[in-house]
Copies of this chain bind each other. A is one copy, B any other.
Amino acid sequence: MSINRAAAVEYARAHREAFLQELSEFLALPSISTDPAHKEDIQHTAEWVADRLRRLGAQDVAIMPTEGHPVVYGFLPGASADAPTVLLYGHYDVQPPDPLDLWESPPFEATVRGDNLYARGAADMKGQIIAVLSAIEALHESGGVPVNIKFLIEGEEEIGSPHLTPFLKQHREMLSCDFSLNVDSGVLAPDLPTITYALRGLAAFELRVSGPAQDLHSGIFGGVVHNAANALAELIAGMHDKEGRITLPGFYDKVRPLDEEERAELARLPMGEDFWLAQTGAPALYGEPEFTPLERATLRPTLDVNGIQSGYTGKGTKTVIPSKAVAKISCRLAPDQDPEEVHQQLRRYLEENAPPTIRWELDYLAGAYPVITDRHSPWMQALVDAMQRVWNKRPLFKPEGATVPIVGFMQRILGVDSVMAGFILPDANLHAPNEKLHLPTWYRGIETFVHYFVNLVENK
């Protein structure tokens, strides 16, 4: 079976321009899942993905409806019948591009500047999808793809995959596999191949506070009513103590303690204070003083305001007491927290701390479980070897602070582990203006996938 490894790598190198062209086409589709105005764009993007799978030779390609945005499915049979079956997971949706005025080139016109390709979704994760599909094309054109591949490309990852759970439950048979390959992850640096073995969960909320029945003149009524914006600020401020610990009742009860061996492993990663300062541009780091920044960003939970709005913030002054104030708040969850439990903890915090001078409402917008996966499975070891071949060094194992809800669902519903294999860099500006894809790393990623699929059969 080693016959097509070298030819496929050769093919991948020769076709970089074509792969990049294809990625640019994919990136031109504004598949913003959170905004109903882009419903039609989502549909076009699903059709684009389905076409691409058909051109790869996939069978049973279908755009499968959910109660939200559709899932694209396809099956590519491997060269030998007893080869393992990989369920390849990705998502074709992207985050909104706001604030638009901070983009240096239009978010939906892929633009190469230096070593990077700039566009919304370039890194998260249309670039990763095209990388693995390009590797499959290279194998297909060089004698055949050695493993069976089932494709599951969804359109709601950026809004917490609300309709994927019923989809997985409904299609257990169709999706049966040996393991899932999830290409929505990253490496630490261009010269540091990295494998993600843990993911944080998520619990996202909208909190609305109302005070007086309507906006009031701050001169006439200032001093007798609780301003909704002040009250919301007070509630938010109380959610952390002075050292950055979260105060929701019971919040840390299920957080898995870090053992000394894992802390020693993490300490070997080149991600000290300077790394985080350089990546974020913050004037100083923040958070629980008894943990390192890497531990805080990956295996410790958080609570962040994602947005807040109240009253008048246009030009000049408007001396009003706002009647209403709203905040979007989300928590990243560490193993083994439970998003629904965190929802109840936030609700209890509000019940205990909201004053009688205001009213509040809390909506639970999205939730996902944290996960930790086995570093010693054959599927993981095949990836270690593939990276070793491309980078000429052993990859690092790393926990990831971000959330990939599907990994929790795969474990809970299909009963399979996920191997995380993606090539996003930490400075890729995910979810922010000027999102970018580092092209030299992307090309290495394509070659890693070529080796990986071969390794799955050769190392079997």
Contact = CB atoms under 8 A, between A and B. Distances in A.
Interface of A: 33-36, 95-96, 98-99, 102, 159-160, 200, 202, 204, 211-227, 229-230, 232-234, 236-240, 276, 279-288, 293, 296-298, 300-302, 304-322, 325-328, 330, 332, 355-359, 365-366, 400-403, 426, 429-433
A319 B204 contact: yes
Copies in the complex: 2
Highest count of chain B CB atoms <10 Å: which of A219, A227, A285: A219
A302 B223 contact: yes
Contacts of A34: 314-318
Question: Mostly helix, strand, loop or mixed at chain A's interface?
Answer: loop
A396 to B, nearest CB: 16
A367 to B, nearest CB: 11
A362 to B, nearest CB: 14
A433 B214 contact: yes
A433 to B, nearest CB: 7
Highest count of chain B CB atoms <10 Å: which of A225, A366, A402: A225
Nearest to A275: B224
A402 B433 contact: no
A202 B220 CA distance: 12
Given A237-B237, A316-B159, A224 B276 contact: yes
A432 B320 contact: yes
A35 B281 contact: no
B311 A307 contact: yes
Nearest to A281: B213
10 closest Cβ pairs, A-B complex: A213-B281, A219-B402, A34-B316, A307-B311, A237-B237, A223-B296, A222-B302, A229-B305, A226-B286, A233-B236
Given A35-B314, A96-B312, A221 B297 contact: yes
A223 B283 CA distance: 15
B322 A401 contact: no
14 contacts: A34-B316, A159-B316, A215-B431, A219-B401, A224-B280, A229-B236, A237-B238, A282-B358, A284-B357, A305-B322, A306-B312, A308-B308, A313-B328, A316-B365
Contacts of A297: 220-224
Given A219-B403, A233-B233, A304 B280 contact: no
Nearest to A34: B316
A222 to B, nearest CB: 4
A332 B286 CA distance: 34
Contacts of A285: 224-225, 357
Given A215-B433, A280-B213, A280-B216, A328 B311 contact: yes
Contacts of A286: 224-226, 355, 357
Contact of A305 (B36, B215, B311, B330): B311
A237 B240 contact: no
B304 A217 contact: no
A358 B356 CA distance: 32
Given A214-B281, A221-B280, 20 more contacts: A34-B314, A34-B318, A95-B318, A96-B314, A98-B318, A159-B317, A202-B219, A212-B282, A217-B402, A217-B432, A219-B401, A219-B402, A220-B402, A221-B279, A222-B304, A223-B287, A224-B286, A234-B236, A307-B313, A308-B308
